[in-house]
Amino acid sequence: MAINILRDTGVPLEQQRFTWRELVQTPYNKIMDDAFTRVRVILMNGIESEALRFSHACARMNGPLQQALAQVRRVEQHQQTLVNWLNPADQNPLETTIGFEQVAIEVTASVAEKEPDPYLAQVYRFGLLEDFDHLYRYSALMDRLMGKDANTLVHSYSDIVPGRPTAVEHRHPLDDLRKPYNRAQASPLTKLHALTIMAGEHQTHDYYMTIGPMFADPVARMLYAEIASIEEQHVTQYESIIDPSETWLEKWLLHEAGEVYNYWSCVESEENPRIRAIWERFLEYELGHVRFVAQLFEDIERRDAAEVLPRQLPEPIRYQSHREFVREVLRREVTLSAVGPEFVDREQESEATRAYRDHLNSQGSPSETVAAGYVWRPGTELTDPAMRLTTQPGPRGRRAA
């Protein structure tokens, strides 16, 4: 399905309307649907969340754009509602968390593989290994709290093993800032990648900050607090790679183009025909948003939208397992850290980062505590006959059934 983002008009903004029944549709099935349907729903909720976040910030700084922003933003809010309500009620917050981390692994891996800028590809690989470890830590928490195997959710697409240990991911704020792309020289794909991953990571941070306090287990509460802190680092990293000299309208146009790119990627890969119809509908809506904002851009800035938008969309995000790529990155780059915008071996870290991390971990590390003695195995330790027969406490003090 070829998209010409400069020519395809999509659905005009004034025709983009919803009823309550349209906004609240039947969710996907967390057991029967493919894991990548969950991945797409979570990411697209993050993409729409970023659209709203940007729109409100832009409105607060640009009075003349407020009316236009309000019209598009209302549709985006309804789009986010429909997408987010596709998550099923029987999927608890920890299960959704596993889905968030699979998004961070597989989508970031797809981006890292295709990113044409070598430095930014390194940025994505660096963040990828940290999210990879978060999946392992949350899987240990799921085993601890529920006796459940996280692989029943990730469907064997992603490994559940340690990455760069979460306990060593804490860095001084100045060591999480990276070099931005150049707006005049960067490829359109580079800009779409940056917006996509920033949106996903920002949503992850906000989700963990919301649900973390809802757990009664003290280790769970601390683990969410610790990983939410890392997600804030990731948002800092990914927003810093975007050229800050882009104008507000230029950024708005790129946001809309990013939504087109991501809905199109979903259309190209979705196997559930009912969900794919939603992606197709919203792809047409976003093309309408691009046309609306492009006209504003050309009228106000007197610049051709073709300066910012690609005529043809790049290759879509690949919603598939990147196991071999991730394993290779893990083998080569797990010991990396950062000093300012540069990546260095952990032995070369700044004194500021060492001091910052040592203080945070001085009373123990939740991510180390939760995974103490945990090794992923199919079906969890409850399927191990030796563990079922023993009357001794398990590795974390739980007696086997």
CA distances from residue 214 to 67, 92, 186 in whole angstroms, order as listed? 38, 12, 42
pLDDT tens digits for range 332-360: 999 999 999 999 999 999 999 999 999 99
Alpha helices in 162-187 (DSSP H): none
Residues 6+ apart with CB under 8 A from 264: 1, 3, 283, 313, 316
Residue, of 224 and 385, whose pLDDT is higher: 224
Residue, of 2 and 207, whose pLDDT is higher: 207
Distance CA 51, CA 77 (A): 9
The count of other CB atoms within 10 Å of the CB of residue 331 is 8
pLDDT value of residue 153: 96
- Decide if 128 contacts 169 (C-beta within 8 A): no
pLDDT tens digits for range 173-193: 999 999 999 999 999 999 999
What does pLDDT average to over the chain? 94
| pLDDT confidence tier of residue 397, bands split at 50, 70 and 90 | very low
| pLDDT confidence tier of residue 389, bands split at 50, 70 and 90 | low
- What amino acid occupies position 90? D
Name the strand (E) or helix (H) holding 343: strand 342-345
Name the strand (E) or helix (H) holding 174: none
pLDDT value of residue 386: 59
Distance CA 106, CA 206 (A): 20
pLDDT value of residue 306: 94
pLDDT (average), residues 138-152: 95
pLDDT at 383 over 80: no
